[in-house]
Amino acid sequence: MLLGVNPPNFIVPPVEGIAGGGTGYGWTDGGVECSNFGRGVIDPTQIPSADLLQVWCMPSTANVGEQDMPRPFDHVSLLAARNEKESVQIAMRPKLSWASSGMAGTVQIQCSDLCSAAGDRLLVGQSLTMRHVVPILGVPDALVPLSLPISQINLLPGETTSIWVSVDVPAGQPPGHYEGLILITALKADAESSAHTLAKADKYKLNRELKNCLELVEPVDGKPLEEVAERLKSATSSLKKILLLPVFHEFYEDNGSCDMMDEDALSNISIHLKINVTVWDFTLPLTPSLPAVFGVSETVIEDRFGVQHGSEGWYDALDCHFKWLLQYRISPYFCRWGDSMRILAYTCPWPADHPRSEEYYSDPRLAAYAVPYAPILSCSSEARESLRKEVEILKSKHHWPKAYFYLWDEIQCSDLCSAAGDRLLVGQSLTMRHVVPILGVPDALPLNLEQYELIRSMSCDIRSYAPDARVLTTYYCGPSDAQLGSNTFEAFVKVPKYLRPHTQIFCTSEWVFGNREDLATDIIAELQPENGEEWWTYVCMGPSDPQPNWHLGMRGTQHRAVMWRVWKEGGTGFLYWGANCYEKSLAASAEVKFRRGLPPGDGVLFYPGEVFSSSHEPIASIRLERILSGMQDIEYLKLYSSRFGRDKGLALLEKTGVYLNPERYTLEHSPIDIMRAEIYRTCGA
Amino acid sequence: MLLGVNPPNFIVPPVEGIAGGGTGYGWTDGGVECSNFGRGVIDPTQIPSADLLQVWCMPSTANVGEQDMPRPFDHVSLLAARNEKESVQIAMRPKLSWASSGMAGTVQIQCSDLCSAAGDRLLVGQSLTMRHVVPILGVPDALVPLSLPISQINLLPGETTSIWVSVDVPAGQPPGHYEGLILITALKADAESSAHTLAKADKYKLNRELKNCLELVEPVDGKPLEEVAERLKSATSSLKKILLLPVFHEFYEDNGSCDMMDEDALSNISIHLKINVTVWDFTLPLTPSLPAVFGVSETVIEDRFGVQHGSEGWYDALDCHFKWLLQYRISPYFCRWGDSMRILAYTCPWPADHPRSEEYYSDPRLAAYAVPYAPILSCSSEARESLRKEVEILKSKHHWPKAYFYLWDEIQCSDLCSAAGDRLLVGQSLTMRHVVPILGVPDALPLNLEQYELIRSMSCDIRSYAPDARVLTTYYCGPSDAQLGSNTFEAFVKVPKYLRPHTQIFCTSEWVFGNREDLATDIIAELQPENGEEWWTYVCMGPSDPQPNWHLGMRGTQHRAVMWRVWKEGGTGFLYWGANCYEKSLAASAEVKFRRGLPPGDGVLFYPGEVFSSSHEPIASIRLERILSGMQDIEYLKLYSSRFGRDKGLALLEKTGVYLNPERYTLEHSPIDIMRAEIYRTCGA
């Protein structure tokens, strides 16, 4: 115990017998998992990566926060239909730091293709993708693509990071069991340490030296041999000087032999995460069974990307948004607000007689499309003629049954401010939030006769060109100046009487029902499906927690439950007011701000790629992925119901605990897997 | 409006007359500040940095969170005495992204020296330092040093980052006004873009190519000239090939001319932040007026840094901690717990007759030091002899009045668990938190006769060697098996009667007083200062919010108020149980975890440097800086009171609204500046 430096009679306090007390370790849980690295520099190439970081998997409905604590490591098993996308998250947290610049360290993630025994493959980069989960307002939401098959991410001390892994099964993929491997490896701090990278200044210097050297050796033809020899000597000394530059310092000792990480060595120390995917013999219909129409703001695109309305760049930007959203089983419509009550909504920016319009309208992934009602912006005869022509062309097409007109998005503020809710709501307590004027949210029925006349006239116009045209009207309350019912919900239920035949798609807010989902049957009972009448729903500001919606900060199952709710209540379509409704900005890469007065995330389902990278491709939110999952769940439930009846489908939803009502649905992921597995078991080959 | 691509009768919806509505911008506040950058690549070298990021200043008592919203830009003005450290924060948030790899962009921060008109300087890197504020459990806390005078940090989209700027005025600094500049510049994504940096693989390749080239040109002596010419040709083509490597791509077009950022151009686009410091003619005493003794766990140092007890590395590690903490006006003691009730506490790891011990004990920044009571760990005669010798040597030294013995740190769990609080607390509501056994917190008085005998015997030992030795005992309640008072607080107040003359420093928890600060006078009245008795206090788990303490997540002024409270209540010293009491770990760079059962941050005032960098220097917490500020405030208040009397000092504290009582003190920073300015005005030259 005594060292030479101590005088002989000085007792260095012993280590033995020390326990408890204030600076003892009274609360250790499960012991320390890493070996004693002490003070030395940690070389991640010499240590199993599992000693440096923890890796665990989380379902797609988990919100993996920066402070989330590690769970046991496990491999991934997914079940997916053909034409289905399934996702899982890989969470990582450093146990210690092995880098030196404020972060814990860099991790390499490497994916292989997923292969079946029959030799079929799900290709990495195509069917298998990885994205980095980036927090928005502190909540994990933005999914920033990682390069494939090898990518690097930086881990921060004391912070959990998550990677979103998706398997997108092509419609033609042979069913079977596919297996692949994800290798996760702690990397030496090459790319970020200034000692190891070549900054621009160094590069510039190196480049210049090399050019000088080249000048020495280049023009030798015809030169006297002595000069050539002289130049050769100079070049030699130049090259030696270059090789002594600090940038090559690491290569001095080993005489240039490569100490780069060997592939096998790498894989020896890597964390091996197996990913198994069972593709089963059910193909999700290319065209979603339930149309989900989502608004995309023209204005936002024009401002943020600096594209002039009607310019080539404008068409390109719209095209990019259209195609990108189709991947999510969403039928986009572009929109722009007219004078405070009318909306111009259109799915295709091209007129119906333009060659490109067919590409839009006939895309099989499109379940419904909005036909622009041109006179909404200008009542000129030219506009009316344009409308007539549009309808004439479209109504002859096979896709015409997908067409709808969305004409109205209007709020009677006076009505709202006078606590409309009190008069209109059944079965739901009213909070201040509900009566705040929700400008800009598609909610209200035109309430007075003047408005009624306008909608009637527009609808008549349209139906004079095509009697079977569908007009969609959104509302969340009954008329205020007509006596249609004895109580407020009754007035709301009777709206179809009032708007018939000028509306075919009666689109109501889910918020109105509160937790009284049974009222949905009253709505449906009021309709005349034989005359093509349908009931659709929407969510926006409301309903709020604990009901399903897509606000930031809600639980993952709460996001996914929006579509479970739709399916259970029996609506035949869904509308969402905005997928890109950020606060105004004039730069593509400007910070995305949510609009004031709206719950965070409301109206924002993806982000501009430019905010996170140099890519123009939109960045999906986690919520958008969960919308897709919900849309896919509907196809599963529909398949099951087609075999065993809708009642059995409803029973399955309830029995597995996935969804019981708007305030009772699973908070955990496993019931979802159980339900899907049951459908696979009973409907599979 | 119509472009050629449109058929003539198709109306592209016009932009005019669009306002309100769902996708309009109903909630813009103050307009968009940046110009229209559109979709193009943003070149930060061509754009004022103020268009790319927002910069604003925050006081040192602000907790600047990642979601904090920008405030107006302003320059910095600080007031500081000599030998004082003052800090301010520079917050930054990107307006948009100009980088391409998931972050918003890189910012360069460049500081100048602070200069006075007389030519005196506060040197950057010495007196002026910058640290990056890094969140711990999501709360800004760790201060990771930035390199000086130029440093770079990365900003993330939608995230506020803060830089902690400190001015540490040397004791000999001439008073005056000092002015300096901080330049903040958005940088082109050189260092982080893979297109621009040379990864190790590239470097390896380059190195190899250069060596091949060298081999071609090197051994030319005695070679036939034709061969030399041949080799020269090969070298030429090799060099040309090298220069065509992708890494030099950026130099192709401009023929190698340097497009590096010009210093002047840089400063033109930079954000200029002026920093003004008024150094006034008051020098904070080198030795703190109020001793603040802080525990440093030996055990944690040994485990985490892998240093064997008593080894050279162990002494080095302790030495590093000792010196580092002295900067914070803190008098450290190292500690280790004995059998569940006794503590070994010592300030110097060397025996008093070792040449190095004087370096510790006579350091003028040390206000108090713990002398090890060696027999606490072993009752051998050798240990007793060692103690005798220590005391014999130390009591003859000029610094002996700073010496104290800290022998006890013990909790009677049975007592605590039987809701000791109920019996002991006056003026404070009791919550569950208070009765949870607070293992490891130095709190309790030895409560039964056996323990009393032990403490009596140890104290007698010590005082037999030095009658004027001071024994410190911590406690938060009165004895449970002796009848000293009629109620619990009375029992607590009477503790000195019981422990006299075996304790001189009666160190009580601030938690006991609740919001009844008046009870402090009862404590003080009980003491015999003429016999060297003193009252010190401590905080640990308690008190909790809203009272002052150093837990993570408390307000900045709440951290700083601990010392205001001490000064107001009239204690003459302060004890804190642990500055480095992390959960057990066997690697220096392992993630820092707080101990379970303790409020976050309790017992942790700094972090191992290895967690955030390759440096062994500890990383201060923001809370530690605020402790220092509080200690400095005490010197200000003492100066003021020495001129105008303690009552006037108390009145100033109250009048400015800085501190009124444990539950009423300023939440904002400005009263602190007002108080300091008033002391400067009235006590300055």
Tell me the pLDDT of chain B averaged across its residues: 83
- Average pLDDT estimate for B8-23: 33
CA–CA min distance B56, chain A (Å): 17
- Choice among A30-39, B369-378, B512-521 with the minimum mean pLDDT: A30-39
Task: Output B438 or A239, whichever has higher pLDDT.
Answer: A239
Chain B nearest-CA residue for A410: B21
pLDDT(B676) > 60: yes
Does the distance separating the beta carbons of B41 and A102 come in below 8 Å? no
ipTM of the complex in this document: 0.79
Query: Which residues does B42 contact at the CB level (< 8 Å), separation at least 6?
Result: A587, A589, B52, B96, B97, B98
**Nearest Cβ partner for B299 among A24, A67, A250:** A24
Of B11, B338, B613, the CB nearest to A382: B11
Mean pLDDT of the A375-394 span: 89
Please tell me the least confidently modeled range out of A670-679, B101-110, B370-379: B370-379
CA–CA min distance A638, chain B (Å): 33
The residue that leads in pLDDT, B350 or B491, is B350
How many angstroms away from the CA of B621 is the closest CA of chain A?
15
What average pLDDT does this structure show over B111-121? 96
User: Rounded mean pLDDT of B344-360?
Assistant: 96
Contacts with A242 from chain B: Cβ below 8 Å:
210
b or e along A305-343 (b: 16 or more beta carbons within 10 Å of the residue's beta carbon)? bbbebbeebbbebbbbbbebbbebbbbbbbbbbbeebbb
Q: Do B588 and A37 touch (CB under 8 A)?
A: yes
Best B45, B68, B97 member to test A by mutation, with max A CBs in 10 Å, is B97
Per-residue pLDDT, B205: 72
pLDDT for A481 beyond 70? no
Please check whether residue B640 is in contact with residue B576, taking contact to mean a CB–CB distance below 8 angstroms. no
With cut-offs at 50, 70 and 90, classify the pLDDT of residue A649.
Answer: very high
- Residues of chain A above pLDDT 70, percent: 81
Mean pLDDT of A214-240: 77
Kindly report the nearest CA distance between residue B400 and chain A, in angstroms.
20
Chain A residue with CA closest to B297: the answer is A23
> Residues with Cβ < 8 Å from A380, sequence gap 6 or more?
none
Tell me the C-alpha to C-alpha distance, in Å, between residue B479 and each of A199, B224, B450, B451, B494. 67, 101, 13, 11, 9
* Segment B139-153, tens digit of pLDDT: 999 999 999 899 999
Task: Name chain A contacts of B202, Cβ cutoff 8 Å.
Answer: 198
Among A11-15, A54-58, A249-253, A346-350, which is the least confidently predicted range?
A11-15
Nearest-Cα distance to chain B for A640, in Å, is: 38
Task: Please tell me which of the candidates B577, B591, B611 has its beta carbon nearest to residue A22.
Answer: B577
**Inter-chain CB proximity B217 and A217 less than 8 Å:** yes
Tokens of A513: 């029902």
Residues of chain B with C-beta less than 8 angstroms from the C-beta of A339:
17
Task: Tell me if A96 and B386 make a contact (CB, 8 A cut-off).
Answer: no
Q: Are B367 and B403 in contact (CB under 8 A)?
A: no
Query: Cβ contacts (< 8 Å) between A104 and chain B: which residues?
Result: 589, 591, 611
Give the minimum alpha-carbon distance from B643 to chain A in angstroms, rounded to a whole number. Answer: 41
Percent of the residues in chain B that have a pLDDT greater than 70, as a whole number: 80
Residues of B in contact with A310 (CB under 8 A): 1-3, 6, 12
Cα–Cα distance measured from residue B344 to residue B298, given in angstroms and rounded to the nearest whole number: 10
Is the pLDDT reported for residue A266 higher than 90?
no
At B37, the pLDDT band (50, 70, 90 cuts) reads low
**Contact by Cβ (8 Å): A397, A384:** no
Q: What are residue A357's phi and psi, to 5 degrees?
A: -65, -35
Interface test with A, best of B200, B382, B384 (most A CBs within 10 A): B200
| Residue A658: predicted pLDDT | 98
Confidence of residue B39 (pLDDT cuts 50, 70, 90): low
Rounded to the nearest angstrom, the minimum Cα separation between B662 and chain A is 26
Average pLDDT over residues A436-462: 62
Section A661-666 average pLDDT: 97
Measured CA to CA, the distance from residue A243 to residue A657 in angstroms comes to 67
Q: What is the pLDDT of residue B486?
A: 53
User: Is A37 within 8 Å of B587 when comparing Cβ atoms?
Assistant: yes
Rg over CA atoms, chain A? 31
Q: For the ranges A354-363, A433-442, B219-228, which has the lowest average pLDDT?
A: A433-442
CA–CA distance, B145 with A446 (Å, rounded to integer): 62
Cβ contacts of B260 on chain A, cutoff 8 Å: 200-201, 204
Q: Could B204 and A260 be called an inter-chain contact, meaning their C-beta atoms sit closer than 8 Å?
A: yes
pLDDT at A285: 98
Cβ-defined contact of B439 to A200 (cutoff 8 Å): no
Q: Which residue has the higher pLDDT, B422 or B467?
A: B467
Contact A586 B36 (CB under 8 A): yes
Over residues A36-81, the pLDDT tens digits come to 566 667 889 899 999 999 999 999 999 999 999 999 999 999 999 9
In chain B, the residue whose alpha carbon lies closest to the alpha carbon of A586 is: B36
Residue A682 has pLDDT above 90, yes or no: yes
Cβ–Cβ < 8 Å for A399, A361? yes
* A192-225 pLDDT tens trace: 444 334 555 667 778 777 888 887 777 666 777 7
Q: Nearest CA to CA, how far is A227 from chain B (Å)?
A: 11
Distance CA B67, CA B65 (A): 5
pLDDT computed for residue B249 by the predictor: 63
- State the nearest Cα–Cα gap between B424 and chain A, in angstroms: 22
Of A25, A202, A239, Cβ closest to residue B214: A239
Tokens for A364, please give them: 């099989």
> CA nearest B9 in A: which residue?
A386
Mean of all residue pLDDT scores within chain A: 83
Q: Look at A465-469, B18-22, B127-131, B642-646 and tell me which has the smallest mean pLDDT.
A: B18-22
By residue count, chain A amounts to 685
Q: Which residues of B touch A24 (CB under 8 A)?
A: 299, 337, 440
- Cα B622–chain centre separation: 4
DSSP output for A354-419:
STTHHHHHT-TT-S-EEPP-GGGT--SHHHHHHHHHHHHHHTTSTTGGGEEEEEE-B--HHHHHTT
Higher per-residue pLDDT: B91 or B343: B91
Average pLDDT over residues A642-653: 98
Contact B353 A385 (CB under 8 A): no
B17, B96, B228 ranked by CB distance to A229: nearest: B228
Q: Choose between A282 and A32: higher pLDDT.
A: A282
Give the three-class secondary structure for B226.
helix
A615 → chain B, closest CA residue: B100
> Which of B151, B193, B217 has the most A C-beta neighbours within 10 Å, making it the best mutation to test the interface with A?
B217
Find the closest chain A residue to B597 by CA distance: A27
A340 to B372: CB separation less than 8 angstroms, yes or no: no
Pick the residue with more confidence: A398 or B45? Answer: A398
The SS3 assignment for A639 reads helix
Do B229 and A229 count as a contact with CB atoms less than 8 A apart? Answer: no
Of these ranges, A41-45, B8-12, B169-173, B615-619, the one predicted with the greatest mean pLDDT is B169-173
Residue A440's pLDDT band, with cuts at 50, 70 and 90, is very low
B616: left (phi over 0), alpha (psi -120 to 50) or beta: alpha
Average pLDDT over residues A426-453: 42
pLDDT category, B408, cuts 50, 70, 90? confident
Return the minimum-mean-pLDDT range out of A91-105, B613-627, B655-669.
A91-105
Considering only alpha carbons, which residue of chain B is nearest residue A32?
A: B585
B5: closest chain A residue by CA: A312
pLDDT tier, B193 (very low <50, low <70, confident <90, very high otherwise): very low
* Residue-level pLDDT at A207: 78
- For residue B36, what pLDDT is reported? 56
CA proximity to B111, closest of B270, B262, B268: B270
Q: Do B236 and A220 touch (CB under 8 A)?
A: yes
What is the pLDDT, as a whole number, of residue A486?
53
State yes or no: pLDDT of A11 exceeds 50: no
Asked if the model's pLDDT at residue A588 lies above 70, the reply is: yes
What pLDDT sits at residue B663? 96
Query: Which of B1, B16, B23, B314 best tests the A interface by mutation, with the highest count of A CBs <10 A?
Result: B23
Partners of B613 on chain A (C-beta within 8 Å) are 100-102
A15–B247 CB contact, under 8 Å:
no
E-strand stretches of B114-260: 114-116, 121-122, 128-136, 139-145, 150-155, 161-168, 176-187
Tell me whether residues B5 and A315 touch, CB distance under 8 A.
Answer: yes
Contact A562, A620 (CB under 8 A): no
Cβ pair A39:B307 closer than 8 A: yes
**pLDDT for res A480:** 61
pLDDT of residue B251: 61
Contact of B305 with B313, CB cutoff 8 Å: yes
A648/A196 Cα distance (integer angstroms)? 63
Q: Which residues of A touch B372 (CB under 8 A)?
A: 13
Question: How many residue pairs from chains A and B have C-beta atoms closer than 8 A?
Answer: 494
- Binned at pLDDT 50, 70 and 90, residue B336 comes out as confident
DSSP label at B425? -
Per-residue pLDDT, averaged over B472-486, amounts to 68
